[in-house]
Amino acid sequence: METRNKNVALSTVGVFLVGFLLAANFTFAAVQGDFGLFKRMQIEAQEETLERELDRLKLEVQLTRNKTRRMSDGYLDLDLLDEQARKVLGLARGDEIIIR
């Protein structure tokens, strides 16, 4: 009878031990696994960083498009550009005589 009680007690302990180990494994996977809480927090932080970078790049693209549009023939006043280049940069054409 004692042997039977020992076997029952050992099997009960074994079942609880296996159950505890399975629960510990699932808990570990839920917290630190590939799809766990820590990974999720890391991905959310990376998402915020990437969204900020996307906003910065969208602004940069918008500014570049604006500058490109302002340099087009339909927008640019060539006479004003020529006048400003002469004033600011001191440019002149090769066939002009400059008197100071």
Rounded CA separation 36/42 (Å): 10
Helix 37-70 vs helix 2-32: angle between axes, to the nearest 10 degrees? Answer: 10
Which 3 state secondary structure label does DSSP give 43? helix
pTM of structure: 0.54
- Domain extents for the chain? 27-89
Return d(Cα 52, Cα 33) in angstroms, integer.
27
* Residue range 6-24, pLDDT digits in tens: 788 888 989 999 999 999 9
Integer Cα distance of 62 and 23 in angstroms? 53
Contact 12, 6 (CB under 8 A): no
Q: What is the pLDDT of residues 28-80, one digit of tens each?
A: 988 888 888 999 999 999 999 999 999 999 999 999 999 888 887 788 788 88
